[in-house]
Amino acid sequence: MTRQADAITETDLHAYVDDQIDMARRVEVEEYLSRNPEAASRVMADLLVRDELRLALRGTGRPASARTLDAARALQRGLMMQRLIGGFRRMTRIAALVALGWFAHAELGLLNVRETAASATVPDFVEDALHSHRTALVRAGMNSQRPAARYDPAEILDATFIEMPRLPDDWRVLDAQIFPWKGGSSVELTVQAGALGTLSLFAARSEDFAIIDPRIARTAEETVAYWQIGPSVYALTGAAAEAPLERAAMALARKF
């Protein structure tokens, strides 16, 4: 039994445009759009903007429409406000946790992640990146698990809509895996990164748009450099020192 068409919300339409919706719900949205020409027209216009922006990010050279350029400028203006609002909401939740005496458990968790900059809070995806990194280490130590060293960023983008940074010429991919992540997919690369040793590069698409410059978080065993570009989140994890790992992350953040 499908849900009634009047249950389709703006959130569903945005998720449809962003490819963040399961197939069953996608069919329901398309059935709704087939009976609502005005909504269908808006969705098609949003799909055009989305695809033009993706082409621009991939450097195809295709000129974007005026509507797309206006949307990009509006997004740029809105990102800062969204970060401020998101930070306020998160601080409110933290204050509530402190009052309940659960701050240490909820914020640090079992992985005991800490942010080296006291003014910032570690995003949830850093913990997911650590899980992926540790899973990759387990795979590397198992004779029955063969590494998949073939790495095709264009194929990953087409299949997952995750944009991967260009790796430095002296980095060598040892393993490339796709893992499930919050209703979508994530990418985990294990790379031999020259003097930095063996690193894991985690990439995924978030539900939130934000711009986060590369920052450092630490556990007892690992250093994590993480950043976000629009809906895409990234984390570079390994045993390297903080300063060179952060420099590597900053270089990767510019390689799109």
Plot region of 177 (φ>0 → left; ψ -120 to 50 → alpha; else → beta): beta
**Two structure tokens written together for 40:** 């269908």
Q: Are residues 135 and 17 in the same domain?
A: no
**Two structure tokens written together for 240:** 């390297």
Q: Are residues 153 and 226 in the same domain?
A: yes
Domain range holding 79? 73-108
Is residue 148 scored above 60 in pLDDT?
yes
Averaged over 139-144, what is the pLDDT?
72
pLDDT reported for residue 105: 39
Q: Are residues 165 and 249 in the same domain?
A: yes
**Two structure tokens written together for 36:** 């609502």
C-alpha span between 31 and 16 (Å, rounded): 12
C-alpha span between 152 and 162 (Å, rounded): 12
C-alpha span between 152 and 178 (Å, rounded): 12
Is residue 98 scored above 50 in pLDDT?
no
Go through the chain and tell me how many residues it has. Answer: 256
Q: What would the pLDDT profile of 226-247 be if each residue is shown by its tens digit?
A: 999 988 999 999 999 999 999 9
pLDDT reported for residue 168: 93
Phi, then psi, of 79 in degrees rounded to 5: -60, -45
Q: Are residues 119 and 243 in the same domain?
A: yes
C-alpha span between 227 and 229 (Å, rounded): 7
Q: Are residues 91 and 51 in the same domain?
A: no
CA-to-CA dists, residue 5 to 16, 20, 121, angstroms:
14, 19, 40
**Alpha helices of the chain — where are they, by DSSP H?**
10-17, 23-34, 37-57, 66-100, 103, 124-140, 153-160, 242-253
Q: How many CA atoms lie within 13 A of 35 on its CB side?
A: 9
Q: Are residues 127 and 194 in the same domain?
A: yes
Q: Are residues 95 and 126 in the same domain?
A: no
Q: Are residues 94 and 144 in the same domain?
A: no
- Cβ proximity of 69 and 79 under 8 Å: no
Averaged over 218-232, what is the pLDDT?
90
pLDDT band at residue 66 under the 50/70/90 scheme:
low
**Two structure tokens written together for 172:** 């060598």
- Higher local confidence (pLDDT), 181 or 62: 181
Q: Nearest-CA neighbor of 18 among 156, 184, 129?
A: 184
Q: Are residues 58 and 24 in the same domain?
A: yes
C-alpha span between 249 and 256 (Å, rounded): 13
Count: domains in the chain: 3
pLDDT reported for residue 53: 64
Q: Nearest-CA neighbor of 186 among 145, 229, 131?
A: 131
- Cβ proximity of 164 and 153 under 8 Å: yes
